[in-house]
Amino acid sequence: MESIVISLNLFGAVALLLFGLGQIKEGMTRAFGAKLRIGLAAGTRGGLRSFIAGFIATVALQSSTATALMVASFVEKDLIVPAMAQIVLLGANVGTATTAWIVALGLGWLSPMLILAGVILSRTKSAPRQGAGAALVGVGMMLLSLHLLSAATDPIRQSPALSLFITMLGNAWPVALIFSAVLAVLASSSLAIVVLILSLAANGSIDTSLVIVLVLGANLGGAIPPVLATLKAPVSARRVTLGNLIVRAIGCVAALPLAGYGAGLLEMSPFSHTNFAVDAHLLFNVAVAIIAWPLSPLLLRATTVLLPEKKEDDGDRSYLDSHDLDRPVAALAGASREVMLVGDLIERMLVQASEAMRHNDLSKLAGISVLEGRVDHIQHGIKVYVSKVGQDGLSGKDHRRAMDIVEYAINLEHIGDIIEKGIRPEIAKKINLGLQFSGDGKNELEQLFTITLDNIRMAQTVFATQNADLARRLVEVKEDVRRLEKQSAERHLQRLRDGRADSIQTSSVHLDMLRDLKRINAHIASVAHPILDQSGLLSESRIKQAL
């Protein structure tokens, strides 16, 4: 019974530590998330700034994993140069080690005051203050968890079983390293495991060399969760997290045979024996940063070899050629072809939604989210590419074309969002609840879907040909859609007045889909506006009437 109580106390203390770390991350994200992301993206133009940015972000978020995932997403979006991303993560590793060192300073007496201040701030109406309050509560919980860990591990440190286990690990350093790494993966936090090691080694019952080995394992395990989290991410993002894992793994392998020498140096130092775990953690990460920093270009080449770009098939083909950036005509032609690919994806999304509604087939909806993800990725690439075209200056005609390409890409992305976040859930709701539109209602929606598909195809032609007559027709059809949407809504309301059960059950689905289809057609028609404007056929509010 006593062992069960001790285990519960230990696991509860670890759980409180992890919860406190999560509170800090969530609170800081709510309070300063946008500023942290902007600062992290803007602060990576040089090696030193990249290192400092990673250090500050990790100290603020209390999670090198969160920083690694953020950096990987920035690399994916071309906001951070890959070589700088690895230096950011070196700073993040030192940041998390510094946090562990600060936590071990014995500031547990601050815990009640921090929790009280955090609760007071979290009850204010300001969102940033609420986030800061949650972060303060998290810090207080971390400090409190250290006190609980110390109390929970005190009986364990006197246990003969623990002594036997420690002896076994002390005689098998690779096993000890793997054991600690597994714990870090399970906890998804190297900091939590280092703090646990700190508590277990507080009275010197664990040999200093074994403490170092366990700390090395925590460092290795802490680099694995970001790799697992980016397994399905683009290759550029996966290279960042893999590079971080390679750096830590090489550092651990190189440091493992030297753990005994390191233990001797620590014991000769003026540092307190009770804090050797966090001292070793910080010294290891500082040493790795100093050695790996100059080798970051070599690391980038290694990850490129290990994770080469996937060979593109027709569906993944890109027309954005970086070699054309100094030739605006060729570059804008490639960007135009790329944005046409986005239009084709939008058409496929509409077709799948229409067929799912017509046949009550959920499987038809499965691919919509995947297509929408591709739309987001391609349109972002188009915006970044066009922003780099002709950096020495564009002619007036080329500048207008560049703006038209970007605006069309943005409108297509908005359409994808409407389909994925609006139409798809409504159709899924209808199918899951077994609802049936009235015959008239179903015909009206199918007619609007057909018109919308015709319009997206016409929009593609208008964008490619810049034909003013087709552009005028596209805007006129938009007015037809508005009229049809209004008539369908009025007919639906009349069916509700008549007490039609099928219309009553599907009322919200029907009206929401009408609204979404009207919004989609408004975005589709926007491709015609620049053409009509240049042709003198567009006033501020409507098409000029023909004479």
d(C-alpha 363, C-alpha 511), whole Å = 24
Mean pLDDT of 72-78: 72
d(C-alpha 377, C-alpha 73), whole Å = 11
Residue 178 has a pLDDT of 92
Query: Is 239 within 8 Å of 73 (Cβ atoms)?
Result: no
| Residue 280 in this model has a pLDDT that exceeds 50 | yes
d(C-alpha 253, C-alpha 215), whole Å = 13
| Residue 408 in this model has a pLDDT that exceeds 80 | yes
Topology of domain 319-534, CATH: Methane Monooxygenase Hydroxylase; Chain G, domain 1 (1.20.58)
Query: Is 415 within 8 Å of 520 (Cβ atoms)?
Result: yes
Mean pLDDT of 279-296: 90
Give the tokens for residue 100: 């562990």
**3-class DSSP state for residue 233?**
coil
| Residue 461 in this model has a pLDDT that exceeds 80 | yes
Q: Which distant-in-sequence residues (6+ apart) come within 8 Å of 63 by Cβ?
A: 21, 25, 96, 189, 191
Mean pLDDT of 412-431: 89
In this predicted structure, which of 181-185, 200-204, 346-350 has the lowest mean pLDDT?
200-204
Mean pLDDT of 257-280: 83
Strands (E), 190-324: none
| Residue 31 in this model has a pLDDT that exceeds 50 | yes
d(C-alpha 253, C-alpha 250), whole Å = 5
| Residue 539 in this model has a pLDDT that exceeds 60 | no
Quick: pLDDT tens for 86-132. Answer: 888 898 889 888 888 887 776 666 788 888 888 888 888 777 788 88
Closest C-alpha to 405, from 454, 350, 464, 458: 464
Query: Is 356 within 8 Å of 427 (Cβ atoms)?
Result: yes
Say what percent of the chain tops pLDDT 70.
Answer: 87
d(C-alpha 238, C-alpha 233), whole Å = 6
List, as one string, the DSSP characters of 322-334.
GGGTT-HHHHHHH
Quick: pLDDT tens for 304-329. Answer: 888 887 655 444 567 888 778 888 88
d(C-alpha 385, C-alpha 393), whole Å = 15
Stronger pLDDT, 529 or 79, i.e. the higher one? 529
Please say whether the dihedral angle defined by the alpha carbons of residues 12, 13, 14 and 17, taken in this order, is positive or negative.
Answer: positive
Residue 216 has a pLDDT of 93
What is the model's pTM? 0.61
Q: How confident is the model at residue 35 (pLDDT cuts 50, 70, 90)?
A: low
Mean pLDDT of 446-453: 88
| Residue 541 in this model has a pLDDT that exceeds 90 | no
In this predicted structure, which of 297-301, 314-318, 355-359 has the lowest mean pLDDT?
314-318
Given the structure tokens 């509409």, which residue do they identify? 350
Query: Is 128 within 8 Å of 30 (Cβ atoms)?
Result: yes
Q: 161-195 burial string, b = 16+ CB within 10 Å, else e?
A: ebeeebeebeeebeebbebbbebbbebbbbbbbbb
- Mean model confidence pLDDT for the chain: 81
Residue 157 has a pLDDT of 59
Strands (E), 110-154: none
Closest C-alpha to 57, from 93, 21, 84, 107: 93
Q: How confident is the model at residue 547 (pLDDT cuts 50, 70, 90)?
A: very low
- For the chain, report the end-to-end CA distance as a whole number of angstroms: 95
Give the tokens for residue 49: 């700034």
Q: How confident is the model at residue 440 (pLDDT cuts 50, 70, 90)?
A: confident
Quick: pLDDT tens for 152-192. Answer: 766 665 667 666 777 788 788 899 899 989 988 887 778 88
Residue 314 has a pLDDT of 45
Closest C-alpha to 290, from 91, 57, 29, 32: 91
Closest C-alpha to 296, from 485, 146, 88, 116: 88
3-state SS track over 411-457: HHHHHHHHHHHHHHHHHHHHHHCCCCCCHHHHHHHHHHHHHHHHHHH
| Residue 387 in this model has a pLDDT that exceeds 60 | yes
| Residue 21 in this model has a pLDDT that exceeds 70 | yes
Stronger pLDDT, 544 or 355, i.e. the higher one? 355
d(C-alpha 84, C-alpha 263), whole Å = 33
Residue 18 has a pLDDT of 77
Q: Which amino acid is located at 355 in the chain?
A: E
Give the tokens for residue 44: 């990576």
Q: For the chain, what are the domain ranges?
A: 2-306, 319-534
Stronger pLDDT, 154 or 246, i.e. the higher one? 246
Rg (CA), the chain: 30
| Residue 344 in this model has a pLDDT that exceeds 70 | yes
Q: How confident is the model at residue 394 (pLDDT cuts 50, 70, 90)?
A: confident
Residue 79 has a pLDDT of 66
Q: How confident is the model at residue 359 (pLDDT cuts 50, 70, 90)?
A: confident
Report the Cα 280 to chain-centroid distance in Å.
32
Mean pLDDT of 509-524: 87
Residue 529 has a pLDDT of 84
Mean pLDDT of 128-148: 81
| Residue 369 in this model has a pLDDT that exceeds 90 | no
